[in-house]
Structure 1
Amino acid sequence: MAARGGRMTSRLQADGGRLAQMPVQTKNPLVMLGNAARLVALIRQEKVSIVHARSRAPAFSALWAAHATGTPFVATYHGVYKARSGLKRWYNAVMTRGDLVIANSDYTREHILAEHGIDPAKVVTIPRGVDFDRFNPSFVTANRIEDLRAAWGIAPGDTRTKILLAGRLTRIKGHLTVIEAARRLAAEGRRDFLILFAGDDQGRTGYSEELAQAIAAAGLQEAVRIVGHCDDMPAAYLLADFALLPTTVPESFGRAAVEPQAMGRPVIASNHGGVTETVLDGVTGWLVPPQDAEGWAAALGRAIDIGPGKRGEMGQAGQKRARQLYSAEAMCAATLAAYERVLEARRG
C-alpha cells in the first residue's frame, strides 16, 4: 500500500501488509510527479498487477504511474463529489479514467453516470464492508455497556427508551431536526425517551454551543444529551434501543446506518442517498424525509411505542441483512472479482 501513513498503519503491518510511505495527499503538481515516479519504481519492483486508487489527489499520481507501466487502473468513487465548475468536474473525473470504477452504492453509481457520462459497463457497485469482528453483539461484555452508561451519566434504573445519534457534531448530521422533533414529543407530555448525541465537534465549538442552546431553549436538558466522542461504538449501540441518522444531505453509503443494524438495532434515517439501500423501511428501520421535524417526531414516537419486542425483531432482520450484504469479506470478494474482470479484459 502507498499512503502517507496514519492510525491504521500498525494494523496494516500486523496483518502482513507493507506500507510505502509518501505524501500522496498532496495537490502540489511537482510533488504529485514525484509520487508518480516513486509509484513507477514500486510497480516495477513489486511486479504489481493492478493499481487501485481510493481518493482523488492520489489518483493522479497513481494514474500516471499506471499509464507509464501499462498497468490496469481501478478507482473507488467513495462519495458524491460536488463540482461547481468545469475545472472541479475535471478534477473529480480522474476517478473515472481507468479500466474500472467501483462505486460504494447504487446511489453513487447513478451519480457517476450522470456526472461523467462514461460507459455504464465500466462502473460496478461494491458496498462498503463492516467489521463484524468488532460490530458483533456477542463480543461486547456487559461491563463495557455499564462503563459507558456511567460515563454518560445514565442511572442504572433509567427505564426511558435510549436513542443514539452517532457522528461528528456538524450541521449536516441533522441534530437540530432531532432537537425540534424531541421538543414536539415533549410538548405532548412525553418523558419516556433519552436522546444521546455521541460525537466530537472537531473544533466546531460554535455549532456544539448552538446545539446546547437549542436543547436548553426547548427545555430538553433531561431528554437530550451531548455526550462527546465515543471510542466504543459497539457498546454504544447496545446501550441504545435504536439509532438515528438524520442527515440533511445524502450520504453516499451511510455506514452509520449499517453499524447499528449489525449490532441488532433498528435505525431511523433520512430518506435520501445510499441509506435508502441499507435501511428497509418498516423492516429494519424507518425512512423519514430529511429536515422534516414533524415527520421525525412521528417516527420517534412510533419507534418508542412499538416496544422492545418489535424493535428486537426489526433489529434481528437488520443484523441478518447486514451480514449478508455488508461484511468486509463480501466487499473483499467482490473487489477481487472486479480485479479479475479487469485482468481478463486486458488479457483479451
Structure 2
Amino acid sequence: MAIAIGLVLLAGLAAWVLHLEGRRRVEWSERLARLEQRVSQQRSAIEQAEAARAAAEAALRASEERYTAALRGSQDGMWDWDLASGRVELSPRWKSMLGFDADEVPGDLQGWRSRVHPDDRAALDAALARLLPADGAPADTRFDCELRLLHKDGSVRWVLSRGVALRRAGGTPYRVIGQDTDVTQLRRVSQVLQAVADGTAGAVGEAFFPAMVRHFARALGLDCAFVAECADHPPTRVRTLAYWVDGTLADNFEFALAGTPCETVIREERATLHRSGLAQAFPREAGWESYLGLPIIASDGRMLGHLAFRHRAPLGDEVMVESVYRIFLARAAAELERLQALARLGEKVPGALAS
C-alpha cells in the first residue's frame, strides 16, 4: 500500500516538474522571440544608417567630381596635390600664367610654394590647414585664398586660388585639386578707380581737370597726362585744360591735331593706343614712346575733347582700365558741358571756355 502511494506521489511530482519545464520553455521561447525581434530591428536600423551614410558619401564624391571636372574645364591655372607622395602637378596653363615653360617649375610642394610671394605663404599655409586639419578639428569644405604669385620676369600676379580636398570613404583626404584665377587686372582697376576717385572727390569745375590728370598719371605710373577741349569746329585744334608731365602741372597750350595721335581720337571719336614706336609714327612726338587717347563725348553726342597719356617707355596692360576711364570721361564731359553752358549764359567764369 505504501509503495502504491509513493508511486502516485512520484507521478504527481513528475507531472508538476514537466508542467514547470513547459512553462519555462514557453517563457524562454517568448523571450528569445523578443530578443530576435530587437536584433532584427537593430539590424534594420544599422542597415538604414549605413545606406544613408553611403548615399551621403556618394553625393559628396559626386559633388567633388563635378567640382573637379569644372576645375579641369576651366581656362585658369590648375594644380593637383597628391598628399601621400607630396607631388604637385601644375598645369601648362598655370605655368604659362607666370611665364614658365612646361618643364621649368618642379612638380612638388616646394616648387609650388616657391612661386608664392613670401609675404603670402603664411596665409596660404593657414588656409590649407583649415582644409586639412591635423588635430581632428572640423575641416573647411573648400579652399579659398587670394595671394600673389611670382612671375618669371620678377613681376607679381594676383590670383584667387580655390580648391577642394578629395576624401576616402572614411573621410581621410588624399588629394587637393584647385585652380588659380588671375585677378591682377581686376585689382589694378580697383586701385586706379580708388586713387582717382579719392583725388577728385572735392574738385569741381576747372579744378576737376588738374586733379584728374594728376591722379591718373600717378595711379598708372605714367610720365604725362593731359585733358584738352576742341578749340574749333569741325575740330582741327585743341587746347589743354590741364597738363601733367614728369610729376608736376605745366602751363596749358593749344596745338594743331594734324601729325599727332590725338587727331584720330578727335576725328574718329574712338580710343587710340600706341604701345610703342610713337615717335617713329609721329615725328612731332619726339621723345615719347607710347600713347593712349580717349574721346570725351557730350551727352548729346558732340565731340568735346579728349583725355590722353604719353609715356617714355612702352605701355603694357597697366593702362587697360576701360571701366575706370568710362566713369571719369563721363565726369569730364559733364564738367565741360557745365562750363560751356555758363559761358554761353555770359557769366564771368575765370579762364572761360569757348563753346
Decide: shared fold, TM above 0.5: no
TM-score, structure 1 normalization: 0.24
Per residue, is there more strand in 1 or in 2? 2
TM-score, structure 2 normalization: 0.24
